[in-house]
Structure 1
Amino acid sequence: MIGISGSSGFIGQNLLNSLHEAKCISLREKDWKILANNCDVLVNLVGKAHDHRGTATEQDYYYINLELTKEVFHVFKESSATLLIHVSSLAALEEFESSKPLTEADECHPNSWYGLSKRAAEIWLMKQKFSADKKIIILRPPMVHGSGDKGNLGLLYKLISKGIPYPLTSFNNSRSFISMDNFCYFIEQIILHQDKLDTGIYHIADDDAVSTKDIIEIIKKVSGKRVPTLALPKLLVKAIAKVGDKVPIPLNTPRLRKMTSDLLVSNEKIKQGLGIEKLPLTAKEGLEKTIKSFSERSE
């Protein structure tokens, strides 16, 4: 039996539908520890990432991302489960940019409360002692997208599908993502071949990176919209972003950096460990599938 904590979210719901013999473990329920005790594998998805209302505190992030992770570990340690898959985030390593594919050996530079609290959980887990028959696999995905996604990719789809030009096409960037299909595939392979991996941190991502221009072209293709190209001069965009640092407008310097910089991830360590040659979907195939789900949802 596979127990998934934090399964009420976007990733959790997709993972529940993908895995056989998987069940939801809600830390809000009084008997969640009893349920977890009867699992062979625990997948911890409990985490706080987005703060759309702008009301979350540093303490909120550390409580959910670190303290609740500690609770899940203590239950795992005393249970009959032999594998704990803890889903961290690339933000624990890097949140803004890297023009070279990031590996697990790179120095960590978390920046936000989210990234810092995720990294704190990684450090804490790696210091714990447990019996030799147990194993902890910590995963760092970049942005995960798929059916039900309510993040930035959906916002970009709404913009382009309404015929509104994307104003930042003068920036040419390349970023790693992971489609929900590939995310679930990695989880399945880890569970099936856990004997091939040692306890530790692993990056999961699509095999190839894509640019924002690639995403826009896919959106145009799926939506059938002929949106004109709007490439505002970089100096002008950066000037607007600096205004956004002082005035509450949609664009500021940190957000611009995230939207236009390179952020590449290497998945070679886990692929070599599991003997994976090719993932089920290419990055572009995964994006097209996600964007089609947006189109179907809006009909």
Structure 2
Amino acid sequence: MKVLLTGATGFVGRELASALMEEPGVALTSAVRRSTSSVPGTIFLAGELNEQTDWASALVGQDVVIHAAARAHVMKDEVADPLAEYRRVNVQGTLNLAKQSVAAGVKRFIFVSSIKVNGEQTLPGRRFTADDQPAPEDAYGLSKLEAEKALQALVEENSMELVIIRPPLVYGPGVKGNFATLVKLVDRGIPLPFGSVHNKRSLIALTNLVDLVITCLDHPAAANQVFLASDGQDLSTTELLRGVAYAMGKPARLVSIPSKLLMIGAGILGKKEMAQRVLGSLQVDITKTCDLLGWRPPLGSQDGLRRCFAEERRE
């Protein structure tokens, strides 16, 4: 099986490329923006991802395309029109690749989307499902939804199969963003006011996401489906921080302050959006993913955290 992977130097793509090289019978082509020797497989220099990228030579003979490249979510976006920039890369760039994949006879297109297509938060006792009405709340989530719809319309008129995977927060060695910030605070032993946060959030270990993508390479039941992904174990922010501290061999210095007071304080400081990510709930239902694919996350959350920090220490 010949596989083209985009975003091969990214957080998810790098791990995925290494795993694909270990898969029997898989011949990997890794698409990158700039010349590099740090990723495995045959290297294809794609340049910028947009509606003009020429994929023709990379797509010759490919059976599967895994599209992991994207303009990632940016907390403080400084471009004049963030939505236009997200659309240029995540929608137009994705559709351009998909159209060329159809023309080249690619059998399956796997699109790594985002749970942000579903929304930002879930109510207590409520989980997002793959069949929910999408409700993105920011430019990044909207661009991913628009890309999904464009891909679905394209494959309706062609024989190429489409698989869409929507992961929540992905953690692993080298993770960035809010997760990395919390990890640094725990590592420094700074007391954190999250000792009694009773939310629930779904996350997915990088190892688990990679395993799911590889399962979707040729699984018959994956064709033209949308799958949500997670570790299958939802954690409160309090539980997550304790798990991170345990995995790092550090004490969890957590101070119990009611979530309502934390939210009020965050609002006063202009950090309401960040507080919602830390204090709110976001749970996903992976029943469909598990039942249709016969898939189970290889790692539980604590094992995922332990492996994450064990690998970082080795590096």
Please tell me whether the aligned partners of residues 215 and 287 of structure 1 are also in contact (alpha carbons under 8 angstroms): no
1:86 is aligned to 2:111: yes
Match of 1:263 among 260, 282, 287: 282
**1:16-72: per-residue Cα shift (whole Å, max 9, x none)?**
001132221233177633112331110011212232553132211111111101111
**1:227-250: per-residue Cα shift (whole Å, max 9, x none)?**
4321234343222211133xxxxx
> How far apart, in 2, do the equivalents of 1:227 and 1:169 lie?
9
1:287 is aligned to 2:305: yes
Q: CA deviation at 1:106?
A: 1.0
> How far apart, in 1, do the equivalents of 2:193 and 2:143 lie?
33
Please tell me whether the aligned partners of residues 126 and 200 of structure 1 are also in contact (alpha carbons under 8 angstroms): no
TM-score by length of 2: 0.85
TM-score by length of 1: 0.89
Moved over 6 A (4+): none
Task: Flag the 1:258–1:76 CA change in 2: closer, same or farther, 3 A.
Answer: same
Three-state SS of the structure 1 residue aligned to 2:137 is: coil
Instruction: Look up the match of 2:43.
Output: none
Q: CA deviation at 1:255?
A: 1.4
Instruction: Look up the match of 1:196.
Output: 221
> How far apart, in 1, do the equivalents of 2:312 and 2:177 lie?
11
Task: Flag the 1:236–1:126 CA change in 2: closer, same or farther, 3 A.
Answer: same
Three-state SS of the structure 1 residue aligned to 2:283 is: strand
Instruction: Look up the match of 2:41.
Output: none
> Percent of counterpart pairs with the same letter?
25
Q: CA deviation at 1:158?
A: 0.8
Task: Flag the 1:213–1:296 CA change in 2: closer, same or farther, 3 A.
Answer: farther
1:47 is aligned to 2:70: yes
1:254 is aligned to 2:273: yes
Q: CA deviation at 1:294?
A: 4.0
> How far apart, in 2, do the equivalents of 1:14 and 1:201 lie?
22
Which amino acid in the other structure matches residue 145 of structure 1?
A: Y
Which amino acid in the other structure matches residue 281 of structure 1?
A: L
**How many residue pairs are counted as aligned between the two chains?**
289
> How far apart, in 1, do the equivalents of 2:29 and 2:206 lie?
18
Task: Flag the 1:101–1:68 CA change in 2: closer, same or farther, 3 A.
Answer: same
> How far apart, in 2, do the equivalents of 1:244 and 1:294 lie?
33
> How far apart, in 2, do the equivalents of 1:130 and 1:83 lie?
13
Q: For structure 1, which segment, 70-79 or 221-230, has the greater mean C-alpha deviation from structure 2 after superposition?
A: 221-230
Which amino acid in the other structure matches residue 191 of structure 1?
A: L
> How far apart, in 1, do the equivalents of 2:137 and 2:104 lie?
35
Please tell me whether the aligned partners of residues 160 and 220 of structure 1 are also in contact (alpha carbons under 8 angstroms): yes
Task: Flag the 1:96–1:294 CA change in 2: closer, same or farther, 3 A.
Answer: farther
Q: For structure 1, which segment, 96-105 or 79-88, has the greater mean C-alpha deviation from structure 2 after superposition?
A: 96-105
1:142 is aligned to 2:148: no
Instruction: Look up the match of 1:38.
Output: 61
> How far apart, in 1, do the equivalents of 2:157 and 2:12 lie?
29
Three-state SS of the structure 2 residue aligned to 1:206 is: coil
Q: For structure 1, which segment, 89-98 or 136-145, has the greater mean C-alpha deviation from structure 2 after superposition?
A: 89-98
Please tell me whether the aligned partners of residues 155 and 161 of structure 2 are also in contact (alpha carbons under 8 angstroms): no
Q: Which runs of 5+ in 1 are unaligned?
A: 246-251
Task: Flag the 1:129–1:217 CA change in 2: closer, same or farther, 3 A.
Answer: closer
> How far apart, in 1, do the equivalents of 2:265 and 2:230 lie?
32
Task: Flag the 1:32–1:127 CA change in 2: closer, same or farther, 3 A.
Answer: closer
**1:169-221: per-residue Cα shift (whole Å, max 9, x none)?**
3321111111111111111111132x223313211221221222222222222
